[in-house]
Amino acid sequence: MGNRLITTVSIDGLGTARICGNSRARRIIVRRGRDGEIEATVPSDAFVQQAIDFITANRDRLSRPAAAGRRPPIVFDDSSVYRTRTFSLRIEPGSHYSQRVSATLSRGILLVRYPPAASPTDGHIQQQIRKIVTEAIRIEAKQLLPARLSRLAEQHHFVYTACTIRNTTSRWGSCSSSGHISLSLHLMRLPDELIDYVLLHELCHTVEMNHGPRFHALLDKATAGRSAALNRMLRRFSTTSLEYAGNMEE
């Protein structure tokens, strides 16, 4: 089910905000739309005032000019330095007769070759390079994240039903009411302690599906009292490494 417009309100100093309800939403999500207006998506049981309060609490971030708050997309070329846990990216022109982008992964080097008649910064070449890098990160994520989730669940006595790795750019992870945990492959860009924080956050949702006091107490216990500090650290990162995504979640 898509978003359903509840109301449009004017907030002093920020302009117009559209508040929409979504029965599948589990938290308030606020972002700037393409037209510059603020868009707030709220769970069906949330009140309009809760959305207004959340927008107001994030006044400083929402009042920045759109260009100032956005991170430019990474441009991959022959001089790019891009490393993950298991591979380094190298980009170079292919053979004289090459007509397409190709890639090989061997001994920790992800080698991407592009047609020599083209520039690696051409839009269609960039799109293919991003797709290749994303798939390589997906392989890493599938190798690491499910095993890490299982270890943390056993250590903290949580039970979940399944784990899925996805290329999600709206959130780091989610947990369904049946205990199915979905994780973003972009977690692989985070430091180890923040990966564990996100995994523990989703594991806590197997017990508490909301973000009420009991959830925060459970997460704080699982993180040895560091949940607030880790959450502040996590906010410095975006859920997508290859181009900017500017959602804020409560």
- The answer to whether residue 16 scores a pLDDT higher than 80 is no
Q: How large is the average pLDDT for residues 111-136?
A: 89
Position 54 scores a pLDDT of 84
Position 68 scores a pLDDT of 41
Q: How large is the average pLDDT for residues 8-28?
A: 77
Q: What is the 3-state secondary structure (H, E, C) of 145-188?
A: HHHHHHHHHHHHCCCCCEEEEECCCCCCEEECCCCEEEEEHHHH
Q: How many CA atoms lie within 13 A of 199 on its CB side?
A: 32
Domain boundaries, the chain: 4-69, 88-137, 140-249
**Cα distance between residue 16 and residue 32, in whole Å:** 10
Could you report the per-residue pLDDT of 190-213, keeping only the tens digit for each? 899 999 999 999 999 999 998 889
CATH number of 140-249: 3.30.2010.10
Look at phi and psi of residue 36 and say left if phi exceeds 0, alpha if psi is from -120 to 50, else beta. left
Q: What proportion of the chain, given as a percentage, has pLDDT over 70? A: 86
Helix axes 192-204, 227-234, angle to 10 degrees: 120
Q: How large is the average pLDDT for residues 125-140?
A: 90
To the question of pTM greater than 0.75 for the whole model, the response is no
